[in-house]
């Protein structure tokens, strides 16, 4: 049999369903992706350049999308203290409320149901596929702080750690967030 593997075909169909759902509430798919990223990103990663790298998009696409999200009052852009050329991004209350109706929740429920019924976690295999594809395309993997080689737990301080790369203190929320500086 020629063509793609059955798994590739299924991933393509799932991708199409996800993209069709992603036009919900008057947002474009990339706008939803930006909102989701900002919900998961740590304070060091809530920048236009981190969004660009994470989504593997052009600066222009991200800039236009951020402008649209700002116009819809779902995201704010603020200059970084001491460097007015850099911006930090934040979800507004309306942005967090929009994510409460995220169309990806249906996919998440389906995945969790299948994983529970089968007693297995499907994320390992998908993570390996994603890593391989990113490597082939020269993209960055990103990851959660606590899995980074620069992550240093602070002895005797439950949930507290330090980023050895940025020399910054990390709280429990930072440790579980996506970081643009991640180095697995």
* Secondary element (H or E) of residue 152: strand 151-153
- Distance, CA of 25 to CA of 33 (rounded, Å): 14
**Each residue's pLDDT tens digit, 8-28:** 888 888 888 888 887 878 899
What is the residue extent of each domain of the chain?
6-140, 142-184
**Each residue's pLDDT tens digit, 28-68:** 999 999 999 999 999 889 999 999 999 989 999 999 999 99
Give the number of residues written for the chain: 184
CATH code of the domain made up of 6-140: 1.10.10.10
**Each residue's pLDDT tens digit, 94-138:** 999 999 989 888 888 988 998 899 888 888 888 788 778 877 887
CB contact at 8 A, 175 and 151: yes
């Amino acid at each position: 049999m020629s063509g793609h593997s059955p798994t590739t075909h299924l991933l393509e169909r799932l991708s199409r369903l996800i993209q069709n759902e992603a036009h919900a509430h008057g947002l474009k798919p990339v706008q939803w992706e930006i909102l989701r990223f900002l919900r998961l990103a740590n304070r060091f990663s809530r920048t236009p350049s981190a969004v660009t790298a994470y989504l593997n998009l052009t600066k222009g696409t991200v800039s236009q999308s951020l402008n649209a999200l700002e116009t819809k009052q779902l995201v704010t852009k603020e200059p970084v203290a001491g460097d007015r050329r850099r911006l930090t991004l934040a979800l507004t209350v309306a942005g967090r409320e929009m994510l409460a109706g995220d169309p990806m929740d249906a996919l998440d429920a389906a995945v969790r149901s299948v994983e529970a019924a089968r007693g297995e976690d499907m994320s390992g295999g998908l993570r390996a596929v994603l890593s391989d594809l990113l490597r082939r395309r020269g993209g960055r993997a990103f990851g959660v702080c606590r899995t980074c080689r620069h992550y240093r737990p602070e002895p005797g301080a439950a949930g507290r750690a330090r980023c050895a790369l940025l020399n910054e203190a990390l709280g429990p929320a930072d440790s579980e967030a996506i970081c643009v500086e991640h180095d697995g």
